[in-house]
Structure 1
Amino acid sequence: MKKKAPYDSMIILTVAGLVSIGIIMVFSSSFSHALVNRNDGYHFLKRMLMWALVGTAAMGFCARFPYWKWERYANPLFFASIGLLIAVLTPLGTELNHAQRWIYIGPISIMPSEIAKFAAIVYISTSITRKKEKIKSFTHGVLPYLLIIGLYFILIYLQPDFSTAFVVAVIIMSMVFVGGMKLWHFIGLSLAGIGAIASMITYFFVTGKTYKAQRIIAFLDPWADPTDTGFQVIQSLLALGSGGLFGRGLGRSVQKHFYLPEPQNDFIFAIIGEELGFIGSVTILLLFLILIWRGIRIAINAPDMLSCLMATGIICMITVQVLINIAVATSSMPVTGMPLPFISYGGNTLVIFMAIAGILLNVSRYINPVRR
């Protein structure tokens, strides 16, 4: 291995900035909800601080743990993630808000779909590195990964969680593409995927009976049913619109007071827009852009295929989730549950994102320092 270079300071600073903003905004957005429903206005703040400490430890460990050593854990991680995804669909799983996505072990909850993202990045990067030139063959190279995508997609979709299933599929396909699959294979599969999603959306829209269909209808015209299916979208737009250029001020959101459900989670970007305004929202976006830019540079200058694929999967995961979360908050796509990386409340999500940021930091130590 090459002589170690310093950690990428830009990644450390952007992750620290995003997590710090997340802690502040989770406290601001959740205080009223926590005070009424938990009898403790600091409930979510205390848990967020606890998970931020755990995430910092995970990030530090992964930053120091040599990235190539993850190879030996690739298979156990993959099978463990599949086992957990199956277990959450059994009576071991707990249903909350019409979704069965959590396994509770005492006071701690495990979200298998978040672990699946991490496991997929490690397993697929290791597998492609071992296959080498076989990836150019559709039968021996691409098809096995399509089967893995299908397995992950079905198990996560059954929870039900279409958005996370979609994210895992995009992560794996991006890694397979960077790993060397033929361009026409990628184009063909992309068109097939777009066609399948379009057909699924059309089916839901035509039948109009499921909650997915209601979300699509609400996306097309949220004001058609402002008190039910269009409620979240309208409240999110009101929050963003009322923030103006500089915002109402930190802690002065109106929509967080029981207008916007669970404002500390999927719609936290709307509260950021309301309290910190356009300037605050753009600052968040700039921090994510810097993080993504540094990740892409690391992937391009990575010392080997394994580290390149790991960095690719990590940056794809962050990028797709940011795009989906902000698109939902701005009514640019139908409502779906997708946390904003490093900022939304959620222990599993925060720890996983900080851990993969640690892997990215570790890879950054082995790239060509002249091209940093």
Structure 2
Amino acid sequence: MSVFLDELAKKVKSKDKDLGACLLRLADNVCKIELASHIGKYTDPELQVNYCVPTDGVADINYVMTKTVNCQVDMYGSAAYSATSSLLTKKLEDGRTVYQHLNSDDMLREDIESIGLAYDEIKEKLLAFKEPDSHAPIGNKLRQVYFPVGDTDHLLSVMQPACVIQELATRARAMRDLKFEARKPDADIGEYSDIYGMVSTKIGGANAQNVSIGTTGMEAKMLLSMPPKFDKRVFLPQKDFFKEKVWFNNTFKDIYKHICKHYNTAWENKQNREILDYYWSKAIDETYRFVYELRAEPQGWSEKGKLPREQAVWLDDKYIDERYDSDEWQKEVVSEFARRLRGFFVEAWKIEYRKEITPDDKFLYNLKEKILRVVQSD
């Protein structure tokens, strides 16, 4: 069964005799739904103005306008007709919606005729949307700009296209999810981006049609009308530097691939030991990259969290005197450091050879010795 017929089957009610009757019922409701490229409620919840601007992708105009870009239309109407609007906005096998296919090609002809309906008749009904009120007031809650055109003034009412607001919300949500995923101790995400200073507006309540079919209880995002400012923010560990900051990312994976290879060799000589020492040094240096990143932060940053005292001394330059006048903090830091790198080794071995390995005490002891030398020389 095609995606279209499968979606239609989900909407069959007890009063429908079959798929054909269901589609006829849904098609009869289209005339009560309004197409809208711009929805006033996104600007102000009390604004009852909607516009549908042609979105044909005209590219020969030297201005950025709704009709010069690929801006998808939304659907506005009572929640009673959500089944119809959700069918029309359903994405089919090629990623395009039912509405887009009906408006541009006859791909659905075979599906519709297979359930005993005349395709051309149903297509006409499915595209017979409610006509917008061309005499509706502009609304005093819209941002309005007057500028001269010849001997008169032209009024520009500024409204965000609905698809832009929805796409921005979708991308912001994806960035937020990636940020949370990256902060997990076992995440394989080295860097992530975020947008700061956004304005959030809760849209629609529980019913999509409180605003449009394109939003279901969505939190809309608005960018500030200011030039963008790009900066790199450092994630500060709150409880444990090694679990929150040092992840098994792609850089570590590449380093440990070589460590596993030379650790697994049947022969042992000076050259092989030197190669292993080299890659262990790279693993330690990669960890120290985060150490220096945190030391560059304003002194006292660790006081905002609950870092162990020894980690705060090691990482926060507020304690720089204690760091170099005492070595009491080193033992615990070196032990945690070694356990973290050993854990990466176990994980890398499982990836490389698809089997478990349990490093012995000598392995951990030698690793601690390597790390201690670096910590003491730092």
The TM tier, using the shorter chain, reads under 0.3
Relative to its length, the structure with more helix (as a share) is 1
Q: TM-score, normalised by structure 2?
A: 0.20
Q: Relative CO higher for 1 or 2, CA cutoff 8 Å, sep ≥ 6?
A: 1
Larger radius of gyration: 2
Relative to its length, the structure with more strand (as a share) is 2
Q: TM-score, normalised by structure 1?
A: 0.21
